[in-house]
Structure 1
Amino acid sequence: MLKKKVIFTALAALVMTSSLTMVENTVFAATTLSTTENTFAKEALSTQKISSAFNTQAVPKTITSNEIGINGGYNYELWKDHGNTSMTLKDGGAFSCQWSNIGNALFRKGKKFNDTQTYKQLGNISVNYDCNYQPSGNSYMCVYGWTRGPLVEYYIVDSWGSWRPPGGTSKGTITVDGGIYDIYETTRINQPSIEGNNTTFKQYWSVRRSKRTSGTISVSKHFAAWESKGMPLGKMHETAFNIEGYQSSGKADVNSMSINIGNK
């Protein structure tokens, strides 16, 4: 009997030891699996964060009524008096627009300044752009802006629709960026401006003789040419790439546009 009891006790101890080892191995395996899963989860989360950090592309935004704001590092504006308009804001200076049944409508992206510096103080200003421009009727594609002191509205027109603006007699020409531009000066009396609804101000124009829809516009060179012809400019308020329509329809895709200031 004693021998049997010893044998049974030994067997029981062996079974208990084996069971305990199996439990320990199971716990270790489960712990290891849990740790591995957490590691993979952390790595996935880290990868997601890195991907998000590098994904700076702006989500396109479409507007259909009058609005101003900032998008892609540029000031933007859609303005119309009436009719159907749509403007989709994209990365950087890019945007697309379309219009119909309007009196007057404009779509633009650009840079606004604080009215304290002249263009010479700001440094060289140029615009690089590429645009699929399809007007039907009276419209133009241009660099546009204002100065204060004196109050001046300015246009550098690279393409247009059925009418070449602004009419009148040219004050001279400037040859720049691979083309010839005619220079014009007009006066607006009791008209809306950045200073109110009933103001009188000058408009300065450079209008390219041959249309184009991509390239570089050396804005500062046009400014210098205007001043050489007795057309003074004030402190800079705005420089923008502009699509404008008058009693017309059309569309434009500004595939890329950048405004470069100073040595940039």
Structure 2
Amino acid sequence: MKNYFSKNASILLITVGLMSCAQEQQRSKAESDVKAQTVSSIEKYQAYTQAYTSNTVLTQNHATGHVGDLFFTHWKDGGSTSLALDTEGDFSVSWEGGGYNYVGGPGWHSGKKNRVIGYRFNEDSGATYITLYGWGYDKNMPTSNPAHLVEYYILQRWTYDPSRDGSFGKTFVSNGVEYSTYRSLRTQQPSINSTSTFYQYWSKPSQQRELGQDYEINFADHVKAWADTGWIIPNMNNFDASDDPTYQVMAVEVFNPGKDGTASGRVWDASSQ
């Protein structure tokens, strides 16, 4: 009986081991396929997309790509602004005063509804917005419907109040912070899909976030709050738009800055922490 059990136990262990090995191989292959597909798809933006394995500084008008595992966007329509990045998520934006618009920062080449974003800002000389920022796009919706393309902001610090230009949605609490939502319409303005008419969704906290502290943004709470008033974000994980993927980044935005300034911080994915 003892020998019989040992023999069958051995067979069982071997079988389980083989199954685990096969499952691991399937999982590895699936991950490789996703990475290959991502690389192949993102090459569509090869005019801008670059990959860096060490610290870098961007000064051109438009650049997207990766520094280490993090995606970045860097866009301006004039003026002088630079974005410094490292592979660990630290970044710094420096700008000169002038009549132009800039937005940039690190994050991910796609948005995820359940992502928890960790960040810390140590310096802010008066950026227009410090915000979680991203896009959703549905190429199958008619372009006459502004909801086919959505630019979203979850503000953390600001010098311009977007609520003056938007329609109020609702007030809700996420991570102990009270936010109010707004929606505004952009008519024939620059976007990730050329010049388009689209919606902007906003979440604005009742108080600005302090510098020098670690914070988390539960993105799903904001998606739900927007949806509660009928403001749905289209697909946040595609390469269908003409100019950029549907990225999600912790961004610094300045428009028509009156003087030179700097904002610096760090971003990370806190979903599994």
TM-score scaled by length of structure 1 = 0.68
Aligned counterpart in structure 2 of residue 132 of structure 1, from 122, 125, 136: 122
Does residue 141 of structure 1 match 2:116? no
Aligned counterpart in structure 2 of residue 64 of structure 1, from 40, 59, 64: 59
Instruction: Supply the distance in 1 between the matched residues of 2:233 and 2:89 (Cα, whole angstroms).
Output: 25
2:268 corresponds to which letter in structure 1? S
2:179 corresponds to which letter in structure 1? Y
Contact 2:54–2:67 under 8 Å retained in 1: no
2:162 corresponds to which letter in structure 1? P
Does residue 219 of structure 1 match 2:201? no
Largest Rg, 1 or 2: 1
Does residue 108 of structure 1 match 2:119? no
Instruction: Supply the distance in 1 between the matched residues of 2:122 and 2:181 (Cα, whole angstroms).
Output: 25
How many residues end up aligned between the 2 structures?
195
Deviation for aligned residue 1:229: 1.1
TM-score scaled by length of structure 2 = 0.66
- Following TM superposition, the consecutive aligned residue runs of length 4 or more in structure 1 with deviations greater than 3 angstroms are none
Q: Which moved more, 1:93-102 or 1:217-226?
A: 93-102
1:95 is paired with a residue whose SS is strand
Instruction: Supply the distance in 2 between the matched residues of 1:196 and 1:105 (Cα, whole angstroms).
Output: 16
**What is the match of residue 45 of structure 1?**
none
Deviation for aligned residue 1:119: 4.5
Instruction: Supply the distance in 2 between the matched residues of 1:174 and 1:90 (Cα, whole angstroms).
Output: 35
1:20-48 superposed Cα distances (whole Å, 9 cap, x missing partner): xxxxxxxxxxxxxxxxxxxxxxxxxxxxx
Contact 1:135–1:160 under 8 Å retained in 2: no
| Identity fraction in percent | 30
1:221 is paired with a residue whose SS is helix
Query: Residues 151 and 260 of structure 1: is their aligned pair in 2 closer, same or farther, counting only changes over 3 Å?
Result: farther
Does residue 86 of structure 1 match 2:82? yes
Instruction: Supply the distance in 1 between the matched residues of 2:251 and 2:80 (Cα, whole angstroms).
Output: 18
Deviation for aligned residue 1:226: 0.6
**What is the match of residue 151 of structure 1?**
149
Unaligned runs of at least 5 residues, structure 1? 1-57
Q: Which moved more, 1:75-84 or 1:151-160?
A: 75-84
Q: What is the Cα-based RMSD across aligned positions, in Å?
A: 1.9
Aligned counterpart in structure 2 of residue 244 of structure 1, from 230, 240, 253: 253
Q: Which moved more, 1:84-93 or 1:241-250?
A: 84-93
2:223 corresponds to which letter in structure 1? F
Aligned counterpart in structure 2 of residue 257 of structure 1, from 250, 253, 267: 267
Instruction: Supply the distance in 2 between the matched residues of 1:78 and 1:201 (Cα, whole angstroms).
Output: 20
Give the 5 Å matches for 1:156-175: 156-161=154-159, 163-167=160-164, 168-175=166-173
Instruction: Supply the distance in 1 between the matched residues of 2:134 and 2:270 (Cα, whole angstroms).
Output: 15
1:189 corresponds to which letter in structure 2? T
1:235 corresponds to which letter in structure 2? N
